[in-house]
Structures are given as C-alpha cells and as structure tokens.
C-alpha cells in the first residue's frame, strides 16, 4: 500500500520562502554587472606621472643621483580603461615597460607620453625604466600599478 504524506499549507509556504531566499542569495553572490552592447563605454581613469630625480653629494664628494616615477604607486579597477600621461621632467629619456600588461613606451625630457590600457586581471604590475635598472644605473626606477 502506498504511503501518503500530508503537508500543511504553512509548511509548504515556509519551504517555498526558504528556497526563494536561498536562490536570491546565490544570485546576489554570483551577480556581476554586465555592460550592455551599445551602452556608454566606461570612462578612462586618467593619471598624471612625472619622471623625477633626487641628487646629492656623497661624503667622498661624488654626485649621487636616483630617478623615480612620481607618484610611485597608482590603484585602478579591473576592466576600467586607464590613461597614463607621463611627463619627462628629469633625465634625457626613460624607455619603460609595464610588466604583465604588454605596455612599452619612452618618456623624453620636456614631453608627455600618453599610454592607454585596460587591465583585465587583478594584481600588481611594475613600471620599469629600462635605463635605470639598478643603483649602478641611478635606479632602480620602478613604480607600481595595483589592479583591484
């Protein structure tokens, strides 16, 4: 003989409400805003950087120089277009790479170099000057782009 189960309306409503709450919670946790096709593109985050130099005279009378990017660290959002406007203030030229983003360029004294990219992955990406790699070359001239 088959078994018959009796479910009260109140128990059924409670189970349905609980199931709906679980589904809504899962949907909220997995939800990522989508960009509509033909929608307005995201505005680029614009950062102004300069090449800087610190110089001093050591105890032995030798001139000491160190180059840097200023600011030395910028923070951007993943998937947002980024525009770097890098002006050469000190040093004749600074060829550079942004490791991990496939960006290369050169900054010359008195000129502004514009670099555009969109980082798709979170992480920290160094901006490395290829002229000033270590202390023997008045460096290291390194800055960081942190992608959240």
Domain count, the chain: 1
Q: Is 27 within the bounds of a domain?
A: no
Q: Is 26 within the bounds of a domain?
A: no
The model carries a pTM of: 0.66
Q: Is 92 within the bounds of a domain?
A: yes
Domain hosting residue 111, numbered range: 45-147
Q: What is the pLDDT of residue 15?
A: 84
Q: Is 70 within the bounds of a domain?
A: yes
Q: Is 21 within the bounds of a domain?
A: no
- Residue in the block written with tokens 């985050």: 45
Binned at pLDDT 50, 70 and 90, residue 38 comes out as low
Q: Residues 6 or more apart from 126 whose CB is under 8 A from it? A: 98, 99, 100, 142, 143, 144, 145
β-partners of residue 108 are 93
Any idea what the CATH number is for the domain that residue 67 is in?
2.60.40.420
């Amino acid at each position: 003989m088959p078994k018959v189960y009796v479910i009260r309306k109140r128990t059924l409503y409670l189970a349905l409400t609980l199931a709906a709450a679980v589904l809504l919670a899962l949907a909220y946790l997995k939800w990522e805003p989508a960009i509509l096709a033909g929608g307005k593109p995201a505005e680029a985050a614009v950062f102004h950087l300069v090449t800087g130099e610190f110089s001093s005279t050591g105890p032995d009378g030798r001139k000491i120089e160190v180059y840097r990017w200023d600011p030395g660290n910028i923070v951007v959002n993943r998937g947002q277009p980024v525009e770097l406007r890098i002006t050469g203030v000190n040093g004749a030229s600074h060829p550079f790479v942004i490791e991990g983003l496939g960006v290369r360029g050169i900054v010359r004294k008195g000129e502004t170099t514009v670099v555009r990219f969109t980082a798709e992955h979170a992480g920290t990406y160094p901006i490395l000057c290829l002229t000033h790699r270590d202390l023997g070359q008045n460096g290291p001239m390194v800055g960081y782009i942190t992608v959240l």
